[in-house]
Structure 1
Amino acid sequence: MVLDTIPWLLMGSSERYDIVYSILKDPAKVYETVYNIFPVWIHAVLRPAQGVIYICYLTIHLQKMKDDKKYKLDTAIYKSYYQWIWVLVFSKTAMYFSLTCYTLIAYLNIEQYGITKQAIYLPAMSMCISFIFLCSYVYTHPSLTCGYTPKVKEKSTNYFNAETAKTIYPVFTAEALLVYQNCIELQLKDNYLFKQKGLTFQQLAKYCSVPKHAFSFLLSNVYGKHFNNYINEYRVCYIIERLNSKQWKELTLEGLANEAGFSSRTTFFIAFKKKTGMSPTLYLQKINTAQLSIS
């Protein structure tokens, strides 16, 4: 097909215009071997054959997915890909069937069979509709081309699951995601980045040299938390550590919260209660009671 475009590229614009105009008047002329290197019928035969082979391949792949136990078709991830292959099979079948009908109508002298030349527009329209449907499906399911998938609710864990990463988020390798995770945790624990007031998702990702999409995936599928909750947990853990080590005596609870990076008293109290199940004041009383008992 590429070689057959060479004569077209070498001819002048007026010749091209005449050829296109003649084909518009009589679509059957597209099958006349005039300016082609190869006989036109080769393309007419190979394209439908290519389509049939591809559709057979997809159908076999569908059956393999259905029989193979490693494909968990009841999960949202595999179900979406399984559905996509079915859409591809049906749309391709419609396309290549319409293409074959278009070829036969255009190639044969259909008027001698009492068929009007306008009949060629029916398979042409069918091809267009199939192609538009296929494109629309791809545009409304960006995970098929970009690797972005809807958030999948899974059991929250602090341990990295490489198999989950490969399945849900194929854009980054499991090894890369593990490196990103270690980098973020190291910066937060060793350099106390969480103490920075107003720390944002973009700032932390940039500081750790972690792609935003990878960081977003880690928050959703590894930690199971929103960014603010994730950072506030580090802040609360820091405060608890200070309270238990008696290094807070010179500070009030509000002062300690301010040192940890909390921007408001309310946010501090909510985050602390969410982490410990009790208010900071009650937690402090519990510590003091325990220390008196030990004394």
Structure 2
Amino acid sequence: MISADIASFICFSGFLLGVVILLILILANSKRPYYNFLLSLCIFSFTYLMFVSGLIWSGLIIEVPHFFRTASPVIYLIAPAAFLYVRAILEEEEKFKLIDIIHFLPALLHFLEMAPFFFQSAEIKIGILQSIFIDPDYSLAMYEGLLPTNVHAFLKTGIGLVYFLSQFYIIGKYKRKYTPLDSYEAKVVNWLMWFTLILTVSYTLLFIGLLINDENNTVQHFLTVLIGIALLIILGFLFFQPQILYGLSDFSESENLAEDIFSKVANKPSLSLSINQIKDYQHNIEEYLESKKPYLNCDFRMQNMVEDTGIPRHHLSAVINTTFKQNFSSLINEYRINYIEKNINSKAWTNLSIEGIGIEAGFKSRSTFLEVFKKQTGMTPSEFLNKASQL
């Protein structure tokens, strides 16, 4: 049996480190991209689980009984948040899709199922906790909601494993499609692989532990500590990988490199780019985009521009951020909208639908096209078409 002191120490350590990581994710990155929100949600869920587990292991839960079972619905958030985080990075998603609500329905339904128990008095919860401390099996036989606790334990781990296997699939698909990866992409993909692997191993061991008939709950206690250690590994990895915490942003942005260029413009020595190099890069980028129109390909990525222009990725990224005052995706979408504005009255486009116009300009989805168009022009495509037809 693992010492309660060791278990509570690991749980509270995970909680404290998790809080630090969350503060960095929320406060340090002013851009707060969508995928950072998803990573924050995943880390928060783990962190809250460790907090409540620490209360239980230390016995402090008796002092704050209303925290009892509150982590149960939150656990359902870990796997979908992790999956959507990986997908958002690899598919360059910039906002939450309405259909993705379905991923969080298990957490919502379980919360509603548990709601009557959450509103029970502290005395009732203390009585249940005291019974569990005497007989741990009493916990697994309880029906605070519609389903017994052990059923939810299997559901959480089973659903989690499905999500994590899906993560491996989309990571593998990305690697096959965009091989060879440049050094920065390789680092990001490597992080996503380790992130997914740690979650998969943890949930697999937890699932096996649930299948073992262990009267003393030794295996379950060990696995609880293992989950805490897994969280510490993930958090430690994040803590020493600032480019993840401060924002990957489509594999393209580097705050340090951007500052590098600004410093160079200010005539500070010991930096890699001269003002003339920056101007040359800017000219090459503009000429390339205007003459080749690579943005009309919906699969066009920064790596393609790196290969076609010969500009190193880190230089390309920094010049776009500082000279064009936006990231790679925003720059490409700007060119796509400009292309539409120039060709809106073209005879070849006469019979195209709104979606068809977006596709012609290189947009992958209707929703992204509508959002970007409205943001840049202040009008919907339909409004713009009506205005253009009157000219």
Under TM normalisation by the shorter chain, which class is it? 0.3 to 0.5
Structure number with higher relative contact order (C-alpha < 8 Å, ≥ 6 residues apart): 2
Q: Normalised by the size of structure 2, how large is the TM-score?
A: 0.37
Q: Normalised by the size of structure 1, how large is the TM-score?
A: 0.47
